[in-house]
Structure 1
Amino acid sequence: MKAVLTNQCISIQTRQRALQCYIEPILMYGCEAWTISKQTQKNLEATEMWFMRRMLRTPWVAKKSNEKVLKEAHTKRSLMNKIRKRQATFFGHVMREGKMEHIVTTGMMEGKRSRGRQREKMLDGLTKWLNAGRVTQALTATMDRDVWKDMVANATKQGT
């Protein structure tokens, strides 16, 4: 895809659509089950900017800020927002299903917790993104499909 994405004869909008159609699905494969830490988020955003710079043929050593590159491409960052939306949609589906995945996803497992700092759960990241306040508020919102869709739509409009 390098020949298509870096071809200057093709408009930037067409190259961006090719990126969205062919590259992003591969990059986001299985993202519904990811727990995104700050480092993972930085890596994903850096990857997104790397693709933009490659499409515009902006060298890495050029002193252009990410904002200038995005302005030149007539776009804004959207990868993290897409990932979070897919996670929220999947999470709502799992919570309404109410089977084994529900127990695993919410972390309501029996037994002792390991020593040290506990890993962040996917639910914690989604709660922050949705501005739900408490985890219980997010869990109760998933049971009503329309309320959950509205929460996800509002969070998507606001961005990451």
Structure 2
Amino acid sequence: MILQKLLNIVEEESRKKGLDLNSKKTEVMVISRKQEPPKCDIFINDAKLKQQDKFKYLGTIITSDGRNNNEIAARIAHAKTSFQKMRAVLTNKHISIQTRKRVLQCYIKPVLLYGCEAWAISKQMEAKLEGTEMWFLRRMLRISWTERKSNETVLIEANSRRSLIKTIRKRQATFLGHVMRREKLEHLITTGKLDGKRGRGKQREKMMDGLKRWLGSGSSTETLETFSTRTVSHYAYVKIGKAD
């Protein structure tokens, strides 16, 4: 197995430098579309590594199914917790709504959008993100659910409009532009193709699918070509920005 060979090389080279790999702190995970991920038997000095179905890396939750649902749900929870900690300011009617929205933009939304550049957002999670955006505004205006006010009415009262999904797409467009222009390992991963047949059933929503819809591109190739040069990438960014 290639992974075992690579780990053996790392373990051997580390030992030459006087370093030892701790098998109790080293874990393995297989990313697969199957409901039951394949077993992966990897060893360090005859000690079998524990296989995980998810772990957190640099603050981001990575799961064995390759989806972002758990990460997005966690980001929403963190953002709501941060909102509650600043509730005294964000719901204070003695402070103008414009000022409070700036506080929200500065302190709460960065918590929500951490790592969003790599999200593949399903329609279900997109609805949850938009719901979170309205959750913030309703609490800032102290609107109870019993008042049965529509989202459109809330947006008018807040002198605001939906912008969260557009912000995510802008960040993804900027990130993809950097990847395409660098032409490094990330570029190879983004543009490369794997041998094999496509799985049965409806295909998963990919980050590229969302960008294709926003840019009005007919194919992934056309979308990637859009970001292949700095000038065209900037034009694409402006084009998305005009939707605000």
Instruction: Give the C-alpha shift of residue 114 in structure 1.
Output: 6.1
**CA-based RMSD:** 1.4
Q: Percent identity?
A: 56
Task: Determine the structure 1 residue equivalent to 2:240.
Answer: 155
Per-residue Cα deviation, 1:75-131 (whole angstroms, up to 9, x for no partner): 11111111110000001111111122123224x243435632332221111111111
Per-residue Cα deviation, 1:1-57 (whole angstroms, up to 9, x for no partner): 111100111000000000000000000000000001111110000000000000000
State which drifts further: 59-68 or 27-36: 59-68
In the TM superposition, 1:56-135 aligns within 5 A as 56-106=141-191, 108-113=192-197, 115-117=199-201, 118-135=203-220
CA distance in 2: counterparts of 1:26 and 1:125, whole angstroms: 22
Of residues 91, 96, 101 in structure 2, which corresponds to 1:16? 101
CA distance in 2: counterparts of 1:95 and 1:52, whole angstroms: 37
Task: Determine the structure 2 residue equivalent to 1:42.
Answer: 127
CA distance in 1: counterparts of 2:205 and 2:219, whole angstroms: 15
Q: Which has the higher strand share?
A: 2
CA distance in 1: counterparts of 2:163 and 2:174, whole angstroms: 17
Secondary structure of the 2:114 match is: coil
User: Which one has more relative contact order, counting CA pairs under 8 Å at least 6 apart?
Assistant: 1
Is there any run of 5+ residues in structure 1 with no aligned partner, and where? none
Q: Is the 8 A contact 1:35 1:122 kept in 2?
A: yes
Q: Is the 8 A contact 1:105 1:122 kept in 2?
A: no
Q: How does the TM-score come out when normalised to structure 1?
A: 0.92
- Say which one has the larger Rg: 2
CA distance in 1: counterparts of 2:169 and 2:109, whole angstroms: 14
CA distance in 1: counterparts of 2:89 and 2:186, whole angstroms: 41
CA distance in 1: counterparts of 2:225 and 2:207, whole angstroms: 16
Q: Which has the higher helix share?
A: 1
Secondary structure of the 1:42 match is: helix
**Paired letter, 1:101:** E
CA distance in 2: counterparts of 1:124 and 1:101, whole angstroms: 18
Secondary structure of the 1:143 match is: coil
Is there any run of 5+ residues in structure 2 with no aligned partner, and where? 1-85
Task: Tell me how many residue pairs correspond in the alignment.
Answer: 158
CA distance in 2: counterparts of 1:12 and 1:132, whole angstroms: 38
Q: Is the 8 A contact 1:88 1:126 kept in 2?
A: yes
Per-residue Cα deviation, 1:117-153 (whole angstroms, up to 9, x for no partner): 3322211111111112222221112122111111121
CA distance in 2: counterparts of 1:123 and 1:148, whole angstroms: 15
CA distance in 1: counterparts of 2:119 and 2:127, whole angstroms: 14
Secondary structure of the 1:7 match is: coil
Secondary structure of the 1:53 match is: helix
